[in-house]
Structure 1
Amino acid sequence: MRYYRLPGGEHQSSSESLVVIDDEGDAYDLTSASEDLGSFTELARAANASNQSIDAIARDRISEADQRNLDDIEANALRPVVPDEVWAAGVTYSISEKARKAESGKPEVYIDVYESERPELFLKATPSRTVGPYDSIGVRGDSDWDVPEPELGIVLHRGEVVGYTVGNDVSSRDIEGENPLYLPQAKVYDRCCSVGPCVSTSETVEDPHDLTMSLTIERDEEIAYEDSTSTSEMATSCETLVEYLRRHNTLPETLVLLTGTALVPPETFTLEEGDRVSIDIDNIGRLVNDTVIV
């Protein structure tokens, strides 16, 4: 099943709703059935308390829930979760290792990470720096080479994997390339990350290492860049990334871990204000954002 966060229904007291699209493709407002199910995190808490799966809780409530119009889902979707933290992984695909080498005067740093057992993990964003579908992602005003990085996002609740989403790890390649120690400035700033449009559970995403992922960038209503890949190209598994993230690290209740990118625009490309970035991942959906200078 796929879970969306939407503005509340017209007959609800809550300002937001948790909406599920079930296995038949119908949409139901779970918050209309129970105000205790006002968010994906609250649904995950209910699953923990009852020792049931998230999808089992949802199926139990669908018969009491108001149906929602499918046409309204994508256009009105908010961030599906508001993660306490967003973490990200780097150099998990061979093309990412090559791109980091190309941008950096110290390529051996990235070669070492790609060939190492320990993955690169870093804190990517806080809630205030993370946007949702159709919000604007940001590129730094002091950078001249900026790119989107489409990534599969793992959603964790209390340290356990509960689903998957689409993420965009927007990055300043020239700042990071100048010196790897500038990574936080290249990665963490206003509107540096987007997630959405939904969370798909493990029942829907049966194998996170076998998903087609595509990136399209439009400029002035024309395609400026387009490509696709598969998560099967990952050199580091999702399980390994999660295991290292948990090590000696107290995790917040809900977080998203972005798993790295295999789609890197050419060195001649940089994002500009007004560009529209669309990321599609099988069995999850499409994340769309416009671009602004911040």
Structure 2
Amino acid sequence: MKLLRFGDTGAEKPGLMDDTGQIRDLSGQIDDITGDTLSPASLERLRGIDPASLPAVEGAPRIGPCVGSVGKVIAIGLNYADHAAEANMALPEEPIVFFKATSSISGPNDPVEIPRGSSKTDWEIELGVVIGTRAKYVSEADALSHVAGYCIFNDVSERDFQLHRSGQWVKGKSHDTFAPMGPWLVTADAVADPQNLAMSLSVNGQTMQDGSTRTMHFSVATVIAHLSQFMTLNPGDVIATGTPPGVGMGQKPQVYLREGDEMVLSIEGLGEQRQTCIAARD
């Protein structure tokens, strides 16, 4: 099942993408797609609805972030063996954890802002994991049972802010529009193996990242179990699980985003994102 949110920023409605690619309006069934509506019981009820019985959404509305009212965005650094090699950094013994401000969340096709003073705005395609049930001190064996679904996540990063402005990585990770999510949330039952998904990102038509979740250092299950030892994962929380090689910082010479650049991201079975870079707004 593919769940999405459509409409103007801040006024998105819940929707479902049917098998023909038609958006169906779920607002008569649920208020929004949030942690409150991602429980196993809620998802099972939605699966029981005949999509043809739902109103068709006409035209081509804006697609918003696939989850609303996100409590926290947790990201994992250096989680792909080939990306760590690209960065000339050793693989960590435990997951590297950082946060992105929830105000950085944007729609999958919304413009990405280049921050004021930026010289090194970079891209990172990632598998996003959305929590469906509360997870605290869970085992690796049980971890995936807490997942509502998966989505594409672009962990846009300003490398100079991230690495050279003191403090934690959050400075370089949290500008407005630095967390495009979607286009839809694919429920966990429709993803046979989250550790075997092809993923790619291009900039201005040139493929920059071409990888697979197979090369993750810490699996999705390992990451969830690990995080749950330090914090409670609540329904609607989002985990960005790391990126394969091909980021701008890893190019020789390094390449970074500029106004007018277009990124296109895809993950097998999870759809496509398309973003144009613009100057930061007030």
**What's the counterpart of residue 279 of structure 1?**
265
TM-score (norm 1): 0.79
Structure 2: distance between partners of 1:63 and 1:144: 46
Flag the 1:293–1:70 CA change in 2: closer, same or farther, 3 A.
same
Q: TM-score, normalised by structure 2?
A: 0.82
* Corresponding residue for residue 94 of structure 1: 81
Aligned runs of 1:91-130 on 2, under 5 Å? Answer: 91-101=78-88, 110-111=89-90, 114-116=91-93, 118-126=94-102, 128-130=103-105
Deviation of residue 245 (structure 1)?
A: 1.5
- Aligned-partner Cα distance in 2 for 1:27–1:185: 36
Structure 1 unaligned blocks of 5 or more: 9-14, 102-109
The percent identity for this pair of structures is: 27
Secondary structure at 2:49 match in 1: helix
Please give the alpha-carbon distance, in whole angstroms, between the structure 1 residues aligned to 2:58 and 2:168. 43
Contact kept, 8 Å, 2:109 with 2:180, in 1: the verdict is no
**Does residue 200 of structure 2 align to residue 200 of structure 1?**
no
Gaps of 5+ in 2: 136-145
Which residue in the other structure is 2:47 paired with?
A: 59
The counterpart of 2:226, out of the listed 241, 244, 252, is 244
Alpha-carbon separation, structure 2, partners of 1:197 and 1:178? 33
Partner in structure 2 of residue 12 of structure 1: none
Q: Which protein has the bigger strand share?
A: 1
CA deviation map 1:218-242 (0-9, x unaligned): 2xxxx25444211111111001111
Return the match for 1:188 from 153, 164, 174. 174
SS at match of 2:16: strand
Alignment of 1:147-226 (within 5 A): 147-157=122-132, 158-159=134-135, 160-178=146-164, 181-218=167-204, 223-226=205-208
Structure 2 residue identity aligned to 1:31: S
- Per the alignment, residue 7 of structure 2 pairs with 7
**Equivalent pairs, count:** 262
Post-superposition CA distance 1:186-231 (Å, at most 9, x none): 222232211111100112111111111010112xxxx254442111
> Taking CA–CA contacts closer than 8 Å with sequence separation of 6 or more, which of the two structures ends up with the larger relative contact order?
2
- Displacement of 1:264 after TM fit? 1.7
Higher helix share: 1
The more displaced of 90-99 and 204-213 is: 90-99
CA distance in 1, matches of 2:32, 2:168: 39
Larger Rg: 1
Deviation at 1:177, TM superposition (A): 4.1
Change (3 A) 1:175 1:99: farther
Q: 2:17 aligns with which of 4, 21, 24?
A: 21
Give how far 1:71 is off. Answer: 6.5
Contact 1:130 1:195 in 2 (8 A): yes
